[in-house]
Structure 1
Amino acid sequence: MSAKSALNKAIFIPNDERLLAAVQVKRRTKKKIPFLATGGPGDYTTFICLSATNKKPAQVFLTKVKKFEGSSSFVRRSQWTISQLQQVNGIDSVRDCPEFDLIFENGSDQWTAGSAGEKCVFVQILHHTCQRFIPERKPEFINCPSKLLGGNSILTEAADSVSSAVQKASQALNERGERLGRVEEKTGEMMNSAQHFADTAHKVCLSFLFWPVSADSTPVKKLLCCSAAFMWRLHERDTATVTVLFNSKVSSALQGCIYLLINTVKTVIL
């Protein structure tokens, strides 16, 4: 379990709060009141936590929490409402650094975070929370890189990434819809072509259906007439007549050719 998850479970969830951000820190300057000291260096770990109540309207707090060496429990030490925060000093507005100061109505603390990245994330979330929950007299953020206070901030970049992903997904769906539309259009054209072919074949059958056929007729004429009669009967689903017609009008010499023609035409008409 991460330190943030452990903090949230031990300190904030029991008080019906949710942890918004936390940063592990060390003091840059020692306390000037010795009898308030809790131990020597390395005896405990300090966290500055930003939390909000689940009950509406939400209240936001900055809390100092300590975890003593040899203990698995966290101890809440100091707490301020976010409205008591007067100034956040990021120390350097040009480069990222781990140092920052928190100035309250009744005092100030000078901290060094575990890394510049941890401090930047904490300050950015703190600034965003102040803009959201403090309607008037917002705390002043000085000496902070502009990326933490707006513009190309981490949160803005994350939102832009999500927006870009949604836009790409929407574009992909639109392109897929266009492709499906083209496929449907081509399918419709193929169906129309097939219907046109069937209608044309039907007309051809009718044109050859009533040709007189005699023993002296040429093989081609016999083939056309017989095929036309076959297709007409097949179109009328009169399979019994087709069998009789085929056996009576076609000699064995032409049956092979007609069988081939029948298989082709049968697929188209049926």
Structure 2
Amino acid sequence: MSLNQRFFQMGGQWNAVHVPEKPNGFGCLIIGDTNHFVDEHNSLWLQHIGRNKIVEEILKCGYTLFYSNLYGAHWGSGQSVLMAKQLYHIIMKQEILNDKIHIIAEGMGALTAMQLMEELKEKIRAVAFINPCMDIKAQLEQEKDRKFFYKKVKNEIAKAYNVPVKELEEYQDLPELCQFQHCSLPVKIWQTTTNFTFDPNLHCKRYEELRSKNHSPVTVTYHLVEKRYSYGPSICQFFKKYEQEL
């Protein structure tokens, strides 16, 4: 597919916009996982064969896609939320789109997405999560058993939140899962049953329980790892359900 795409810098971060051949008037913000990147002419969502397949399928359905480098491994930091909001406002000025957008968030991108769901709730239609990380403290605790990974994750989180590593365990301002229990926006989660970085028992199952308790259930679908890049059409079907009201 020939893509109408452009890359631009904002606040020291590279951003990308992909405009479909036949736009349907709706936009979708993508928030990537720890390995996500955007530079002046490429991104993980273009470079990685599986993710590129998802992008192409969603473009084929008419969605304008946009995303930011978001400081690399941001772990849901305040600056990643602020940058995502700024990107939303810029795109709304530059593109002819309905001002209520969809979100796709993969892995730790969910930490930023859940905060946007609180702060931009009137401007969000539906949210698709792929293998999400939703509880940063639970993830840190689990990583303690794997010393090398624990050190890496701890360093990344400390850097993202601008906190000295040795003070991270006492740091009080990491987002907590319970903060997001009153959200009622439509959510669907695509979760692989094996080969996941973020254990669904710690993340999507807890979020599912939290939302059920508050009478705004979410849908979770489990997939074999081989199917993990065939979500494009089902994400589009999910989004279409929430486009009746402009």
Q: Report the TM-score range of the alignment, normalised by the length of the smaller protein.
A: under 0.3
Which structure's relative contact order is higher, taking Cα pairs within 8 Å and 6+ residues apart?
2
TM-score, reference length from structure 1:
0.22
Instruction: Flag the structure with higher helix content.
Output: 1
**Rg larger for:** 1
TM-score, reference length from structure 2:
0.23
